[in-house]
Structure 1
Amino acid sequence: MTKRVSQLNRHNLKFARQLRGYSSNDLAQKMGIKYPATISNWETGKRSPDFLSINKLSEILRVPYNFLINTESYSDENSVTLFRGPANTTKKVKLSFERKIDLYGKFISNLSKIINLPPFEFTDLQCKNADFKMTNDDKISQIAYNVRKKFGLGNGPIRNVTAFLERNGIFVVFTNDDSGVNALTKKIDGRYIVLLNIANQSSARVRFSLAHELGHILLHINYKSNDLNDKNQFRRMETEAHYFASCLLMPEEGFLLDVVSPTLGGLVNIKPHWKSSVQSMAVRLNQLGIINEIQKVNIFRELSRKYSRKAEPFDFGENRIPYEYPSLVNAIYEHLDGAMDKSLEIKGFKNNFIQNEFLGLKLTNKQDSIDTKPNLYIV
């Protein structure tokens, strides 16, 4: 009997197929396989493909060959996933995004074996409830205040929300996808990962989304899966995370000092300073009782008339507020000068593969080597 050069990891084949949003039939067609059951047999371990078939799978699924034969599993089925996107998002699309965040989570886990990553610093601020429980506005506001107090953020705008999360142990990564999915947050190997889709999103909206996901991590991440699947409870969690983001990004004491005029023009003037959308600022003024519901709606209508609800001033073009891209992984690679490439490549994390999956990553490819395990605690 001929000994195989390499053996397919059936779990990783299924992972890669789901990552690309393919069904077994889809993959069989792309492989030119007559019987779709062949794919199922490979994924259940009843049969195993030869070297040439694994190589073809690698090309079609756009994953490294080592990814399919590595003995390490990439999926994390046991952790709760907080998904944000349209209600009509298909299960296939949801699963594809979950596999994408799993991939990045495992990538970060492998980096942690090479370098000491920033620890999670929000544990003492998290709600401990394992079951769903409504959180009132006063408590949410207090938690947002406590975040600012603990990290010395003062009452002004947060300079860089992405860097703030990364410095304090929440790993952020961007993608650009036209599926309509907004964000996923998941705890993988003890680390919180936030995957944010920035397609057609302004920097102001991205900042708010990141603050929103932090709200979920502090308020809801310990809930059971059945609570997250309850539509009414999930809507309430979304409302709470939105309110948290408003309180965190626009603290009452500092924000109201800058609002000279609670009108469209007045909010447009302070937008570059606060780096928040006009709409979110109008909602915040309504929350604080400065304007009533009718005044808020009138600001929205005037915004639609003069500009666009989806393209406010400073959102796009030459004067746009710039994106705050994740920088932690880039800093790690620059610090190590590419020294960990070989160890990661063996596990399927080739530089060009990870760079193609996520936005803003600039991974070096040098062959220097080091023997020590350095520390990296700040971005």
Structure 2
Amino acid sequence: ERVRAARKAQGLSLRALAERVGLSHEMIRRYEQGKAVPSASTLHKIADALRCRSDYFLRPTLIGEIKPAFRLKRRLPASQRAMIILRVQDWLERYLIIERILGLDAPFEFPDGFPYPVRQMEDVEQAAIALRNSWQLGLDPIATLVELLEERGLRVGVISGVEAFDGCAFEVEVGDCRQPVLVYADNYPGDRQRFSTAHELGHLMLRVEGNLDEEKVANRFAGAFLAPQPSVIRELAAMGSTLTLSELAHLKQKYGMSMQAWVYRLRDLGVVSEWSASRVFAMFRERGWHKTEPGEPYPAESPRRFENLVLAAYEEEIITTSRASELLNMRYIEFLNRYQHLRGGASIALRRGHKRLDKSAQGWHPARSAAAD
């Protein structure tokens, strides 16, 4: 079944894969149906042809159905949608393996009152404030959105090399429950990544009722979560009657939200008119700023939890070098060159109740590489 899924994700027919591997299409069919078992060398050839690691075919199945929380963009070809889901499956299975090794595979728990019911756009503003309150964020800018989501228990991943893909939230069958995961593309500026991530968070955290457009609701939530209405009003109170490009650039850097997203946000809140907003967008298009905005780009963010768990287990000699490189989807020699210095490294005692990783204990936590007070 995994051979078939990987083949479909690459958009290959049975005959096309057979030609790449040098076998008959009937033999490939037998592999897919479980009626024959390929040799190790044949499995490597199939993996190379399907652009994946051979351990993907040997890994135990930890997850069931993977369902987009809303939908992948319709303009994506079916083969690209299948490839995205395959990559999510591969990444998430590796994530779940290291969590189980470390005894950290707790399910994500939605805050009380979420998914939040939305019957009108004004409810979105309330939902964003409610989520911030539940997570005790206040109204200040969110410094690192991906880190925040990982701290709150969401599994977050990145996908490379898929055109016309910004991100997507998925509901994944793990054991006897469905778990949310969030994946975004890593080939966009940091401000766009943050907005896409907040947009997908909206799909997870909101329950849209009635005839509201779910994409517009998610966009409104992204703006409201990154720049809450009280914060917007406070920022504007310190400015004059007009908003300059330099002030927009300042807001972009402060809140990690693009200049164009800020204009949409101000329009949604009725601070600027539809006509004024359209003039700004037209100017951005004329100057090519709709693709690359002027000024300093906002830095991209990266998920850290999965990699940190693997490296903590490797450093404490709980997993082998081969296992660690497999989990991080890296070649053995590449992993060694980058991380061998961590093996058996000395731990530093931490104060404030932090515990050093104890291999013999139940429910231990990876040690953090931080200096003591």
Shorter chain as denominator, the TM-score bin is: 0.7 to 0.9
Aligned to 2:147: 163
Distance of aligned partners of 1:181 and 1:75 in 2 relative to their CA distance in 1, 3 Å threshold = farther
C-alpha offsets along residues 51-88 of structure 1, whole Å, 9 cap, x if unaligned?
43223223333444333234x126632x4223655422
* Pair 1:98 & 2:82 matched: no
Q: Helix, strand or coil: the match of 2:253?
A: helix
Distance of aligned partners of 1:251 and 1:128 in 2 relative to their CA distance in 1, 3 Å threshold = closer
Distance of 2:204 and 2:368 partners within structure 1: 21
How big is the shift at 1:36?
2.1
C-alpha contact 1:271 1:277 (8 A) present in aligned 2: yes
Aligned to 2:323: 345
Give TM-score, length-normalised by structure 1.
Answer: 0.78
1:348-367 alignment to 2 at 5 Å? 349=327, 351-352=329-330
Distance of aligned partners of 1:345 and 1:67 in 2 relative to their CA distance in 1, 3 Å threshold = farther
Distance of aligned partners of 1:16 and 1:204 in 2 relative to their CA distance in 1, 3 Å threshold = same
Q: Helix, strand or coil: the match of 1:194?
A: strand
1:82-93 alignment to 2 at 5 Å? 82=69, 85-93=72-80
The partner residue of 1:216 within 200, 203, 206 is 203
C-alpha contact 1:12 1:73 (8 A) present in aligned 2: no
Q: Which amino acid aligns with 1:107?
A: R
C-alpha contact 1:119 1:168 (8 A) present in aligned 2: no
Distance of 1:269 and 1:171 partners within structure 2: 31
Bigger relative contact order, structure 1 or 2 (CA pairs below 8 A, ≥6 apart): 1
Q: Helix, strand or coil: the match of 1:76?
A: strand
Distance of 1:377 and 1:137 partners within structure 2: 44
The partner residue of 1:278 within 246, 253, 259 is 259
Q: Helix, strand or coil: the match of 1:173?
A: strand
* Pair 1:332 & 2:306 matched: no
C-alpha contact 2:10 2:79 (8 A) present in aligned 1: no
1:113-152 alignment to 2 at 5 Å? 113-115=100-102, 116=104, 120-127=108-115, 135-152=119-136
Distance of 2:69 and 2:267 partners within structure 1: 28
C-alpha contact 1:187 1:193 (8 A) present in aligned 2: yes
Q: Helix, strand or coil: the match of 2:330?
A: helix
How big is the shift at 1:208?
0.6
Distance of aligned partners of 1:306 and 1:91 in 2 relative to their CA distance in 1, 3 Å threshold = closer
C-alpha offsets along residues 279-315 of structure 1, whole Å, 9 cap, x if unaligned?
111111111111110000111122223451010124x
1:297-316 alignment to 2 at 5 Å? 297-314=278-295
Distance of aligned partners of 1:84 and 1:334 in 2 relative to their CA distance in 1, 3 Å threshold = same
Distance of 2:138 and 2:339 partners within structure 1: 34
C-alpha contact 2:9 2:79 (8 A) present in aligned 1: no
How big is the shift at 1:345?
3.3
C-alpha contact 1:12 1:74 (8 A) present in aligned 2: no
Distance of 1:175 and 1:16 partners within structure 2: 16
Distance of 2:91 and 2:333 partners within structure 1: 11
Distance of 2:7 and 2:301 partners within structure 1: 31
Distance of 1:202 and 1:137 partners within structure 2: 28
Aligned to 2:213: 236
How big is the shift at 1:240?
1.1
* Pair 1:109 & 2:99 matched: no
Count of residues in correspondence between the two structures:
342
C-alpha offsets along residues 26-72 of structure 1, whole Å, 9 cap, x if unaligned?
31121122x323212210123333343223223333444333234x1
Aligned to 1:81: 68
Distance of 1:61 and 1:264 partners within structure 2: 48
Q: Helix, strand or coil: the match of 2:129?
A: helix
Distance of 2:230 and 2:214 partners within structure 1: 26
C-alpha contact 1:75 1:103 (8 A) present in aligned 2: no
Aligned to 2:166: 182
Aligned to 1:12: 2
Identity %: 21
Aligned to 2:355: none
Distance of 1:240 and 1:252 partners within structure 2: 15
Distance of 2:331 and 2:303 partners within structure 1: 18
C-alpha offsets along residues 145-190 of structure 1, whole Å, 9 cap, x if unaligned?
0111122222221111101101001111112214212222223324
Q: Bigger shift: 141-150 or 265-274?
A: 265-274
* Pair 1:203 & 2:180 matched: no
Give TM-score, length-normalised by structure 2.
Answer: 0.80
Q: Helix, strand or coil: the match of 2:168?
A: strand
Distance of 2:128 and 2:302 partners within structure 1: 23
Q: Helix, strand or coil: the match of 2:217?
A: helix
C-alpha offsets along residues 103-140 of structure 1, whole Å, 9 cap, x if unaligned?
122122112212326763434242378xxxx6311222
Q: Which amino acid aligns with 2:234?
A: L
Query: Which ranges of structure 1 fall in alignment gaps of 5 or more residues?
Result: 1-10, 357-361
Aligned to 1:54: 43
Q: Helix, strand or coil: the match of 1:22?
A: coil
C-alpha contact 1:344 1:350 (8 A) present in aligned 2: no
* Pair 1:323 & 2:300 matched: yes
Q: Which amino acid aligns with 1:30?
A: R
Query: Which ranges of structure 2 fall in alignment gaps of 5 or more residues?
Result: 345-357
